[in-house]
Amino acid sequence: MSEQSGAQAMQFGIMSVSDITRDPTTGVTPSEQERIKATLAIATHAEEVGLDVFAIGEHHNPPFWSSSPTTFLAALAAQTERLIVSTSTTLITTNDPVRIAEEYAMLQHVSDGRMDLMLGRGNTGPVYPWFGQDIRQGLPLAIENYALLHKLWREDVVDWEGKFRTPLQGFTSTPRPLDGIAPFVWHGSIRTPEIAEQAAYYGDGFFANNIFWPKEHYQRLIELYRQRFEHYGHGTREQAIVGLGGQVFMAAKSQDAVNQFRPYFDNAPVYGHGPSMEDFTEMTPLTVGSPQQVIDRYAAMREHYGDYQRQLFLIDHAGLPLKTVLEQLDILGSEVVPVLRKELAKDRPAGVPDAPTHAARVKATYGDGPTRQARPGANRGDNLTADSPYEDTPAPAGAAFGLGRKGA
Amino acid sequence: MTTRRIAVVSAGLSNPSSTRMLADRLAAETVKALAERDIDATVDVIELRDHAHDITNNMLTGFAPPALETAINTVVSADALIAVTPIFSTSYSGLFKSFIDVLDPDALAGKPVLIGANAGTPRHSLAIDYAIRPLFAYLHADAVSTGVFAASSDWGGGGDDVAPLAKRVEKGARELADAVARREAATIADPFDPATYLGEGRSFGHMLGGLAGE
């Protein structure tokens, strides 16, 4: 396996929302093909400069291009060796949880476990009816759909009846997760305490958007998640798995960064024509300046949120051209992330877990023993009466997943 | 003596403004009426003019800059609200409505409100009842039945002889004081307290319904 070892305290990476935005300095809007290829170039360069993660958002409307994250991430995994491919976010409300279970398990196999995913509800109202859902049911959909997804990855044969989806009788989601280990899930949130609660309930990761709003909002969410993680018995609050977003724009001289980024900031759909860039950078984690300013700002995140496991930066939006984004990656990889790795590792308490990887999770489940290799049995097509559609040995000690009804 | 907190929102644009003058009178009279009911009241006045840019920014970014956030918290946590707006084109001012729009739609539910408005001519006086009152009804706020409208002529002394401004202010303030006196002091549910979003003593399993076997 090309998977890196499990011992990685912090993961650094970038996340893209897949917007196709006019470059305000040139008036040029890239085509979908140009932007998709540019994002592949950005993501592969992220690995080249030593980053660990690339995450892509999911949207189903212009000006965004990423409607099919797993297709894109599979191509990216094929072009990289070490990078973890992920999402920011996968829509748990409007996607059928069965399709999520299948597509991401497939991605897990083709990437040799170099993947995870982040779930979110999505904030584009019109998307819901396109997929036959109602935005007023956003939270119940997130809760019920994830309950099913969680089960589909852990039990070979699933009976299911919920409010939102056609019932399942003796259903097997294929392929089964790689090595019998479900993909790691982060629950992403901008404001909703119920999502922090959900992440805590399952002992999954919690990712705070940490982009658009003041840190105080995210502090409350993360504190709640840590407290509830402990409440549900997954470990101490320090052992909860926290990820953070962030956004930066850098140049060697601080003033150059400010001048270069301002037209993009002023015209960006998400915050353009609102607060000044100066006000916005003061109120939110957006940092526009020298690499040292970025280091200072992000090294302080652990003081706001506690020791955490993953830091993702948004750097490729608002019409910034490919060349500029690649330069930003060079600065991140050479000047910023190496220093942040050291800073955030300094005095990191022993009990704080490393960032989750497939290899580490395999090891935690099986030790050095053989992993589960699911092989369809002769009874396929007969899930309703047979014990399991798979013949697989060995079953791990204290299996974390059910092996059909016999084990359930 | 018990203590209550009154928030006053004034949407006047000039300084000094007759909107603010009306707001101050309503507040002073309310404090007096509460004192007569053995209730000590403090007053926080919010001039929306000071927050006009932040209100627009909040609409564009989804979060309130610090000064506006403080103002919003002052309003939503108060025991009662005195809301006063100038009448522009037969209705509340755009700034007033924009402030209401950045509040959580449930934030004013059940809160006693005294509505005030002012305009150049008494012909706009019904705007309180056909424009402003429905807004507070929609928000499930508890607006007292008297709304106090002041026209320019009310300040000039030659206003309404039958029910002069001072009398109307006193009536509205008395109704608001009664509404406050009837209630317990306001408590704000912490949205980050599991008891708030799950229900007291419940766990996430209840949100899953039958799915988690709880």
Across the interface, which of A197, A212, A223 has its CB nearest the CB of B61?
A: A212
Whether ipTM > 0.85 holds is no
**Span between the terminal Cα atoms of chain B, in Å:** 47
Give the pLDDT mean for B147-163.
Answer: 84
pLDDT, residue B187, reads 86
What phi, psi does A218 have (nearest 5°)?
A: -75, -30
Gap from A198 CA to chain B (nearest CA, Å)? 7
Please state, for a pLDDT cut of 90, what percent of chain B lies above it: 75
Across the interface, which of B60, B62, B197 has its CB nearest the CB of A273?
A: B60
In the stretch 91-150 of chain A, residues with CB closer than 8 A to chain B read 143-144, 147
- Within 8 A of A279 by CB-CB distance, chain B residues are 57, 65
A182 by Cβ neighbours in 10 Å (0-12 / 13-18 / 19+) ranks as buried
A201 in reach of chain B (CB within 8 A) = yes
B24 pLDDT exceeds 80? yes
pLDDT, residue A213, reads 85
CA distance B117 to B20: 10
- Hey, is A76 helix, strand or coil? helix
A198 in reach of chain B (CB within 8 A) = yes
For B29-79, the pLDDT digits (tens) are 999 999 999 999 999 999 999 999 999 999 988 889 999 999 999 999 999
Which CA distances in Å does A7 have to A179, A357, A359? Answer: 19, 9, 9
Which CA distances in Å does A342 have to A109, A241, A348? Answer: 32, 19, 10
Q: What is the dihedral of CA A258, A264, A265, A271, to 10 degrees?
A: -170
**Span between the terminal Cα atoms of chain A, in Å:** 31
- Specify whether the CB–CB gap between A208 and A240 falls below 8 A: no
CA distance A45 to A39: 10
Give the residue from A210, A180, A231 showing the smallest Cα distance to A397: A180
CA distance A154 to A101: 10
CB-based contact A143 B65, cutoff 8 Å? no
- Specify whether the CB–CB gap between B98 and B66 falls below 8 A: no
Under 8 Å CB-to-CB from B163, ≥6 apart: which residues? none
Q: What is the CA radius of gyration of chain A?
A: 21
β-pairing, B80-88 vs B91-92, is: antiparallel
DSSP assignment of B89-103: TTEE-HHHHHHHHHS
Tens-binned pLDDT, residue by residue, of chain A (408 aa): 334 444 589 999 999 999 999 999 999 999 999 999 999 999 999 999 999 999 999 999 999 999 999 999 999 999 999 999 999 999 999 999 999 999 999 999 999 999 999 999 987 788 899 999 998 899 999 999 999 999 999 999 999 999 999 999 999 999 999 999 999 999 998 888 999 999 999 999 999 999 888 888 899 999 999 999 999 999 999 999 999 999 999 999 999 999 999 999 999 988 889 999 999 999 999 999 999 999 999 999 999 999 999 999 999 999 999 999 999 999 999 999 999 999 999 999 999 999 999 999 999 999 999 999 999 887 656 666 666 788 876 555 444 444 433 333
- Specify whether the CB–CB gap between B139 and B101 falls below 8 A: no
Q: Residue A283 is which amino acid?
A: M
| H or E element in which residue A79 lies | helix A69-79
- Specify whether the CB–CB gap between A100 and A58 falls below 8 A: no
Q: What is the dihedral of CA A394, A400, A405, A406, to 10 degrees?
A: 50
CA distance B31 to B3: 11
Q: Residue A52 is which amino acid?
A: D
Under 8 Å CB-to-CB from B73, ≥6 apart: which residues? none
CB-based contact A213 B62, cutoff 8 Å? yes
Better-scored residue on pLDDT, B163 or B133: B133
For A330-357, the pLDDT digits (tens) are 999 999 999 999 999 999 999 999 999 9
A228 in reach of chain B (CB within 8 A) = yes
Confidence of residue B200 (pLDDT cuts 50, 70, 90): confident
